[in-house]
Each structure stands twice: as structure tokens, then as C-alpha cells.
């Protein structure tokens, strides 16, 4: 899945483009399904990554479909061809086994690797994507540092 270049699309489609029906994201943000996404290569803990996203008027990414998972995977690969593990906004920090997105949206889709989540050593409360050979989700200690993806709560951050 290719990452859309919204500015190029806007130039090519300007006769058919309206601000109401067409959405573009700020520089370094990418559009998918009326949300804006940003890959951040700087390694941070899960909490610090969430705070950074909030400072950008967004949250760590919540993923609600296979198509969105594929988009997030392509976004990561675009900036990190090695497709290293990356934070997403899922955690069970508040109650063990009750997974919640940091943006407050409902958990309607999961992409766990086989055997996950397993809360290894009773210390895995945050979720990374691109884990293991299958590049799926894994629960991991929140204190580790990884790159991350932010997603806007509304159409544009």
C-alpha cells in the first residue's frame, strides 16, 4: 500500500477538490480514512510517545480495521525499511486484560501475534506493532523505548 501524497493529489484534483469533501494533512502527516497519521522515528517510552502525540493534538495510533493496519504498516515501512517494532496506542495499564486505546475509542479490531497478549513476567501493558517475523502486535513493558505513530482525533491536527 502506497502512502498518499496529499499535496500532489490536491494539485491533480483541484477541479474536484473541496475543503468539505477532501482532506489534507499538515506536512509530515499522512491522510487515511479522514484521519492524519505521523511516524516519529525518535525512540520514547509509551507514555512519553503518547505525551508527544497529545502535544501535536493527536494520540498514539488506534487501529480499527485490517485496511488501517496495512496503512500503518506501510507508513512505518516508508520511513523504516527494516520495519522495526513501533508503539501503537493500545494498553491495559488501567486494568489487566482490559485493552484500551489511548484516544478512548473502542477496541473493535486486534492483530495479535500467536500467543499474544501474554503479559510475560506480569509487566507487559503496552503494545507494539511489527513484532516478530509476522509483524503483528505484541504486549511489552511500557518503559522500553521505540519509534511510534500518532493519529489525529479529528480530520486534521
What CATH number should be reported for the domain holding residue 43? 3.10.100.10
pTM score of the predicted model: 0.85
Asked, for residue 74, whether it belongs to a domain, the answer is: yes
Q: Which domain range does residue 92 map to?
A: 6-152
Asked, for residue 1, whether it belongs to a domain, the answer is: no
Asked, for residue 54, whether it belongs to a domain, the answer is: yes
Q: What are phi and psi of 113, to 5 degrees?
A: -70, 160
51, 43 Cβ separation under 8 angstroms: no
Asked, for residue 113, whether it belongs to a domain, the answer is: yes
pLDDT at 24: 84
pLDDT at 21: 43
Average pLDDT, the chain: 88
Chain segment 83-135, per-residue pLDDT in tens: 999 999 999 999 999 999 999 999 999 999 999 999 999 999 999 999 999 99
- Identify the band that residue 39 occupies on the pLDDT scale cut at 50, 70 and 90: very high
Q: What are phi and psi of 137, to 5 degrees?
A: -85, 150
- 29-to-22, 23, 94, 122, 136 alpha-carbon distances in Å: 15, 12, 30, 35, 23
What is the count of structural domains for the chain?
1
Asked, for residue 157, whether it belongs to a domain, the answer is: no
Instruction: Report the candidate in 75, 51, 53, 93 with the shortest Cα–Cα distance to residue 129.
Output: 75
Asked, for residue 115, whether it belongs to a domain, the answer is: yes
Query: Average pLDDT of 136-152?
Result: 98
Amino acid at each position: 500500500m502506497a502512502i498518499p501524497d496529499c499535496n500532489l493529489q490536491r494539485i491533480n484534483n483541484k477541479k474536484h477538490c473541496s475543503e468539505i469533501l477532501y482532506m489534507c494533512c499538515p506536512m509530515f502527516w499522512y491522510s487515511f480514512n479522514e484521519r492524519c497519521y505521523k511516524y516519529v522515528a525518535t525512540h520514547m517510552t509509551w507514555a512519553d510517545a503518547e505525551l508527544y502525540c497529545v502535544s501535536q493534538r493527536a494520540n498514539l495510533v488506534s487501529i480499527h480495521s485490517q485496511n488501517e493496519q496495512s496503512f500503518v504498516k506501510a507508513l512505518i515501512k516508508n520511513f523504516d525499511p527494516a520495519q522495526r517494532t513501533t508503539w501503537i496506542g493500545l494498553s491495559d495499564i488501567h486494568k489487566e486484560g482490559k485493552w484500551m486505546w489511548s484516544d478512548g475509542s473502542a477496541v473493535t479490531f486486534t492483530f495479535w501475534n500467536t500467543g499474544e497478549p501474554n503479559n510475560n513476567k506480569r509487566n507487559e501493558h503496552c503494545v507494539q506493532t511489527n513484532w516478530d517475523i509476522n509483524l503483528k502486535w505484541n504486549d511489552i513493558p511500557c518503559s522500553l523505548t521505540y519509534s511510534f505513530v500518532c493519529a489525529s482525533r479529528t480530520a486534521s491536527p
